[in-house]
């Protein structure tokens, strides 16, 4: 079931990628990487530490001062195009790798993770030749010619989570490289494999040494060292709110630029005039795609009180039909959670939901027939806003269904959260869709759809869900500094 090219990769994977070379960690230690479908080890990867982080930052700096810094915009674009094509040429191995390491169904990795990652590099490949400054019409007395330049920020530390390892790495690498930065990528210690596969592709397509470095390791070791390192100019982080806050505090010491993509508790609102078939399908997708391990999961489903019984009954029936199984098996619709400790965390939320009085309608328990891994059945609660499962990010397949009576009330309740990453609306009434989209405090609002993403879009959170934006031209603003040049013409 593991493609032969991938089997060969699993045999050789291990070393870190620093300055264009694959090397062991300074401490000589390794991290055991598991397959969550079986709970068995699949690879041993070098466990980077602070010394490796410092070495990677120095390699990135040398690249900026050397060959990478001298690369023309056209050549940067060409390298990014080549990387997009290499990802497509290795799509099957990468999809299998994400399934194997994260536990996501291979069909989803083929449909989403890998093509979207390739699209991201292709989109940003077009930008290096179009990044311009402008001439400013100043009014200062005298004669001046004033213009701006967009320059790379410098060395970027990209710190990523375990739920979309390849895709989220591409959200950071593509715009950072397009703008001429050098990057040190620190993948999650749970899922470092696709980042190391990508490092091989970076090497193969010919990026100058040090433009991209990959240092797996624990957040407390490599992540923290990168954020503290005065040689890092910017941190681009995706992960939990707590770690995001710690990074922001720590980055203040060296005045680093910081962008944060953090958690969410996204509302998904079905209005009474919605196309119910589409809304139900979309709401299940919103709650259970990627095992619900997704920052933008539509984990608070608001339904009209009058239709609540019918909607919940149909959701429960559909949830029972979702096929759980090993991530690499062709018919699997939902894989295991990423780790035993994460499974325990999600189960603790389910127990808390029951203790607080939410009504468990389906799921909640393990699925031993799916395999020996970290499986959890899709879970639906009839809940209230006060329950922890309706307020806190569970990051698993747990859906809270909440009844509402009118529009103003549902908008107020949807916005009653410290988060603001995404929201969904299902309605046929265009003016209602636009009014509610305007009223919701979220970085992205989807109308009659969910998880619609594109490299040309913009992605990021309001409030506790983050700082800054990824994707599209918005991302480039965070990977460049604006320099103003004044010429006094006398």
Between 128 and 443, CB nearer to ligand NAD = 443
Contact 427, 274 (CB under 8 A): yes
Stretch that binds ligand NAD, among 17-25, 257-265, 324-332, 478-486 (CB under 6 A): 257-265
Residue 489 CB burial class (10 angstroms; 0-12, 13-18, ≥19): exposed
The binder of ligand NAD chosen from 71, 194, 238, 259 (CB under 6 A): 238
Q: Could you tell me if 182 and 210 are in contact, meaning their C-beta atoms sit under 8 angstroms apart?
A: yes
To 10 degrees, the CA torsion angle through 160, 161, 167, 173? 0
- Among residues 98, 189, 293, 295, the one annotated as catalytic is 295
Count CB atoms within 10 A of the CB of residue 98.
29
| Catalytic hit among 108, 261, 293, 393 | 261
Least spacing, CB of residue 124 vs ligand NAD, in Å = 17
Distances (CA, A) of 267 to 155, 161, 217, 221, 332: 36, 22, 34, 35, 27
What is the distance between the alpha carbons of residues 146 and 477, in angstroms, rounded to a whole number? 20
Tokens 């913009």 correspond to what residue? 458
Tell me how far, at minimum, the Cβ of 217 lies from ligand NAD, in Å: 8
261 is catalytic: yes
Chain residues 369-428 in contact with ligand NAD, contact rule CB under 6 A: 393, 395, 421
* Contact window for ligand NAD (CB under 6 A) among 18-26, 107-115, 239-247, 398-406: 239-247
Q: Which of 161, 326, 353, 420 binds ligand NAD (CB under 6 A)?
A: 161
| One residue of 23, 65, 204, 220 binding ligand NAD per CB under 6 A | 220
Q: Binding segment for ligand NAD among 122-130, 203-211, 255-263, 278-286 (CB under 6 A)?
A: 255-263
- Contact partners, residue 31, CB within 8 Å, separation at least 6: 44, 45, 46, 47, 189, 192, 216, 217, 218
Token pair belonging to 395: 């990051």
d(CA 217, CA 205): 25
- Per-residue x/- marks for ligand NAD, 189-218, CB under 6 A? x----------------------------x
**The dihedral sign for the CA sequence 182, 259, 290, 113:** negative
Alpha helices in 275-362 (DSSP H): 276-288, 308-321, 340-355
CB of 7 to ligand NAD, least distance (A): 26
286 binds ligand NAD (CB under 6 A): no
Which token pair is 472?
A: 């599209």
Please identify, using beta-carbon distances, which residue of 248 and 276 lies nearer to ligand NAD.
248
| 219 in contact with ligand NAD (CB under 6 A) | yes
Q: Is 108 in the active site?
A: no
Place of tokens 């994260």: 102
Between residues 211 and 225, which has the closer beta carbon with respect to ligand NAD? Answer: 225
Q: Of these, 44, 148, 240, 333, which contacts ligand NAD (CB under 6 A)?
A: 240
In angstroms, what is the minimal distance from the CB of 302 to ligand NAD?
20
Gyration radius of the chain's alpha carbons: 23
Residue 158, SS3? strand
Residue 168's DSSP bridge partners are none
172 binds ligand NAD (CB under 6 A): no
Instruction: Give the span between the Cα atoms of 95 and 88, in whole angstroms.
Output: 10
The region of 106-114, 260-268, 329-337, 346-354 touching ligand NAD under the rule CB under 6 A is: 260-268
The binder of ligand NAD chosen from 186, 347, 387, 469 (CB under 6 A): 186
Q: How far apart are the first and last CA of the chain?
A: 73
Min CB(168)–ligand NAD separation in Å: 6
Relative to beta strand 16-18, strand 21-23 is antiparallel
Q: How far is CA 150 from the centre of its chain?
A: 26
**Using rule CB under 6 A, residue 462 touches ligand NAD:** no
Both structure tokens of 214: 């990959």
Give the shortest CB-467-to-ligand NAD separation in angstroms: 11
Q: CB of 263: closest distance to ligand NAD in angstroms?
A: 3
240-271: string of b/e by CB count within 10 Å (b at 16+)?
A: bbebbebbbebbeeeebbbbbbbbbbbbbbbb
The distance of closest approach from Cβ of residue 299 to ligand NAD in the complex, given in angstroms and rounded to an integer, is 11
Report the C-alpha gap between 221 and 132 in whole angstroms. 38
Write the binding mask 289 to 328 for ligand NAD: x where contact by CB under 6 A, - elsewhere: ------x---------------------------------
The window from 17-25, 62-70, 103-111, 161-169 that contacts ligand NAD (CB under 6 A) reads 161-169
Residue 166 has phi, psi (to 5 degrees) of: -75, -45
Beta bridge partners of 183: 156, 212
# residues near ligand NAD by CB under 6 A = 31
Q: Which positions are catalytic?
A: 261, 295
- Please report, as ranges, the residues that interact with ligand NAD according to CB under 6 A: 159-163, 168, 186, 188-189, 218-220, 223-224, 227, 238-240, 243, 246-247, 261-264, 295, 393, 395, 421, 461, 466
């Amino acid at each position: 079931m593991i493609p032969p090219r991938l089997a060969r990769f699993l045999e050789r994977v291990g070393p870190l990628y620093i300055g264009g070379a694959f090397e062991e960690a300074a401490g000589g230690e390794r991290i055991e990487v598991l397959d969550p479908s079986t709970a068995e080890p699949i690879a041993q990867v070098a466990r980077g530490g602070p010394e490796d982080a410092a070495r990677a930052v120095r390699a990135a700096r040398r690249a900026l001062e050397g060959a990478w810094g001298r690369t023309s915009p056209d050549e940067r674009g060409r390298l990014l195009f080549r990387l997009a094509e290499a990802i497509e040429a290795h799509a099957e191995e990468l999809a299998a790798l994400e399934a194997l390491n994260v536990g996501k169904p291979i069909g989803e990795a083929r449909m989403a993770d890998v093509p979207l990652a390739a699209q991201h590099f292709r989109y940003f490949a077009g930008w290096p030749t179009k990044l311009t400054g402008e001439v400013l019409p100043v009014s200062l007395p005298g004669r001046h010619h004033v213009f701006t330049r967009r320059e790379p920020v410098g060395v970027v530390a990209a710190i990523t989570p375990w739920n979309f390892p390849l895709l989220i790495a591409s959200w950071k690498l593509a715009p950072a490289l397009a703008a001429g930065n050098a990057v040190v990528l620190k993948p999650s210690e749970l899922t470092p494999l696709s980042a190391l596969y990508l490092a091989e592709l970076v090497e193969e397509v010919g990026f100058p040494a040090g433009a991209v470095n990959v240092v797996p390791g624990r957040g407390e070791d490599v992540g923290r060292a990168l954020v503290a390192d005065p040689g890092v100019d910017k941190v681009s982080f995706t992960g939990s709110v707590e770690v995001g806050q710690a990074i922001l505090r720590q980055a203040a010491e060296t005045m680093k630029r910081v962008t944060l993509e953090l958690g969410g508790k996204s509302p998904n609102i079905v209005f009474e005039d919605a196309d119910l078939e589409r809304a139900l399908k979309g709401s299940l997708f919103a709650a259970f795609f990627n095992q619900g391990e997704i920052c933008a999961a539509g984990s608070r489903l608001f339904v009209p009180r009058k239709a609540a019984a019918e909607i919940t009954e149909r959701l429960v029936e559909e949830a029972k039909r979702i096929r759980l199984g090993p991530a690499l098996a062709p018919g699997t619709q939902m894989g295991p959670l990423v780790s035993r400790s994460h499974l325990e965390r999600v189960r603790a939320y389910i127990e808390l939901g029951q203790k607080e009085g939410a009504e468990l309608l389906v799921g909640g328990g393990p699925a031993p027939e799916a395999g020996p891994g970290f499986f959890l059945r899709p879970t639906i609660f009839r809940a209230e806003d006060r329950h922890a499962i309706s307020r806190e990010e569970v990051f698993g397949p747990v859906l809270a269904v909440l009844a509402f009576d009118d529009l103003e009330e549902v908008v107020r309740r949807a916005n009653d959260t410290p988060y603001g990453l995404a929201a969904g609306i299902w309605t046929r009434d265009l003016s209602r869709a636009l009014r509610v989209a305007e009223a919701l405090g979220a970085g992205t609002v989807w109308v009659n759809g969910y998880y619609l993403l594109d490299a040309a879009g913009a992605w990021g959170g309001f409030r506790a869900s983050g700082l800054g934006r990824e994707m599209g031209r918005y991302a480039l603003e965070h990977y460049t500094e604006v320099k103003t040049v004044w010429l006094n013409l006398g």
